[in-house]
Amino acid sequence: MNPVDDSIDYLGTELEVFAHATNWRAYWQGQVRPYLGSTVLEVGAGIGTVAKSLCAGEIRRWVALEPDAAMAAGLRADRSAGRLHAACEIRTGSIGSLADAERFDNVLYIDVLEHIEDDRDEVRRARDHLNPGGTLIILVPAHQSLYSPFDAAIGHFRRYDREQLSSLCPSGMSSVCARYLDSVGLSASLANRVLLRSAQPKLAQVLLWDRVMVRVSRVVDPLLGYRFGKSLLVVWKKNQ
């Protein structure tokens, strides 16, 4: 087992800003919920936005793994205050800090994999912590052509297209789902890449996208067969 790395710090306030994107969160979580089992590992739990929404109901165990020590401390405070479900366990570290024998029904990377330089090795490690039949669920920003100063400012190594991300699927796993989300939001990302070149989105911009564009995307995306979008969701299943 590798030592815990608690030296990672986040840049900026993007997590707090995007925590206001309630429509977007409801949209992608609706896509993910059918695949959730009773034991979940969330890699890169951040300020707990995902765990606060999805760690509920039939979830028996949720491990929120967060490399930033200050954020992990905030998650523990939230759990103590009852803002996180009692099933949520907070760990400080990366996936390499888990015991080799730990297994889960699901491993989640929600807007996290793009922050990891060796993404191929990362998903192999994730596979090894899945039960047979378990799923690896990944949500990432789409299209390297849209890579912007904002991506660079918050430590994104890359954005992904479907073929590129699919090429990372580890041996012993098969694809269950691969779809782009938020086709209308593509225009906002393109405007930021070509015109605004903003290194930090303003709250007003996020709210406009969330309250208008995401709502339209939820209608338009299935009509387009989920072939276009500013985010990419994949679900891979570990073979029995």
pLDDT tens, residue by residue, 121-169: 999 999 999 999 999 999 999 999 888 888 888 899 999 999 999 999 9
Angle 104-110-113 (CA atoms, 0-180°, nearest 5)? 95
> In this structure, are strands 61-66 and 130-141 parallel, antiparallel, or unpaired?
unpaired
- Taking a C-beta distance cutoff of 8 angstroms, is the pair 35, 235 a contact? yes
Tally of structural domains, the chain: 1
The alpha-helical segments, DSSP class H, found in the chain are: 14-18, 22-32, 49-54, 69-80, 119-128, 149-153, 162-166, 185-191, 203-208, 214-223
pLDDT tens, residue by residue, 206-236: 899 899 999 999 999 999 999 999 999 999 9
Residue 6 lies in a domain: no
Residue 7 lies in a domain: no
Residue 9 lies in a domain: no
**Which residue segment(s) compose the domain that 159 sits in?**
14-238
User: How far is it, in rounded angstroms, from Cα 39 to Cα 36?
Assistant: 8
User: How far is it, in rounded angstroms, from Cα 117 to Cα 231?
Assistant: 19
Which pair of structure tokens corresponds to residue 127? 């596979």
pLDDT score of 2: 37
Mean pLDDT of 80-103: 96
Residue 198 lies in a domain: yes
pLDDT score of 95: 97
Mean pLDDT of 25-29: 97
- At which residue do the structure tokens 């309630």 appear? 22
pLDDT score of 198: 59
Collect all residues with Cβ–Cβ distance below 8 Å to 195 and sequence separation of at least 6: none
Residue 3 lies in a domain: no
pLDDT tens, residue by residue, 167-209: 999 999 999 999 999 999 988 777 666 544 555 677 888 899 8
Q: At 56, which CATH number? A: 3.40.50.150
Residue 2 lies in a domain: no
Banded model confidence at residue 109, pLDDT cuts 50, 70, 90? very high
pLDDT score of 13: 63
Closest CA to 181 of 15, 2, 25: 25
pLDDT score of 84: 95
Banded model confidence at residue 26, pLDDT cuts 50, 70, 90? very high
pLDDT at 100 over 80: yes
CA-to-CA dists, residue 47 to 17, 37, 44, 75, 79, angstroms:
11, 22, 9, 6, 12
